[in-house]
Structure 1
Amino acid sequence: MPTPPTPTPTAQQLRHLLSRYAQARIAQFERDTPARRNALTEATRALCAVTSTPDIKTALFKADDLLAATCPEDHLTRRAAGARQTSRVLMT
């Protein structure tokens, strides 16, 4: 029996998960504690699950692409598009 397709997350869901991941990563960087490590792990798992990706690097790229797809082309400025490409280069 084939598995049903995963629904595409909304832009609001993606923004929330990206914010949660960023906050957890910053908090863990500022002070490494087991609770903060767990929060980062949970935020990573949630983002990977929603984007159907195996790792956080791929999840971040996919979330970025999904958010860009929700934006009308004329609203995605050259600067934003350039920033996306720069982040991809830095993450590789």
Structure 2
Amino acid sequence: MLMAHPTVLRTLVERYETLRALADLRSVDTEDRSDDMVDTVGAVGPHALAGRHQGAVADGPSVLEQLRDTIYTLCVSTGTREIGPALAAAREHISRAAFTATGATEERMAA
């Protein structure tokens, strides 16, 4: 399976965490509605890939809409359908890439 570049995944994970914190601060009840509206790919319509997830957090679409778009993109990028497994897969891929990069750097230094 193709996997997004670790830098892209890192950006998406950071964006998810920021938007989730903003949603919580704004008292948006995403916890109670997570199964229906926010945390599954099926809850997000086709508009999610319109590129809005790269806009400013405070401007444009609502925080909840940006959160949905980011969740959708994370799920598609990791081949999952829910945010929990998507975050786990993204973090694993980021860790693996960092470990591989560290090992490659050490090999070059030893040569």
TM-score of the alignment, normalized to the shorter chain, above 0.5:
yes
Q: What percentage of aligned pairs have identical amino acids?
A: 25
What pairs with 1:20-59 in structure 2 (closer than 5 Å)? 20-31=15-26, 32=28, 35-59=62-86
Count of residue pairs brought into register by the alignment: 69
Q: Report the aligned-residue RMSD.
A: 2.1
- Cα offset for 1:72? 2.2
Query: What are structure 1's unaligned runs of at least 5 residues?
Result: 76-92
TM-score by length of 2: 0.56
Inter-partner Cα distance in structure 2 for 1:71 and 1:19: 16
Query: What are structure 2's unaligned runs of at least 5 residues?
Result: 30-60, 103-111
What pairs with 1:49-88 in structure 2 (closer than 5 Å)? 49-72=76-99
Greater Rg by CA: 2
Letter in 1 for 2:17: A
Deviating 4+ runs (over 3 angstroms): none
Greater per-residue helix proportion: 1
SS where residue 18 of structure 1 aligns? helix
Inter-partner Cα distance in structure 1 for 2:63 and 2:95: 30
Q: Is 1:15 matched with 2:20? A: no
Larger RCO, structure (CA 8 Å, separation 6 or more): 2
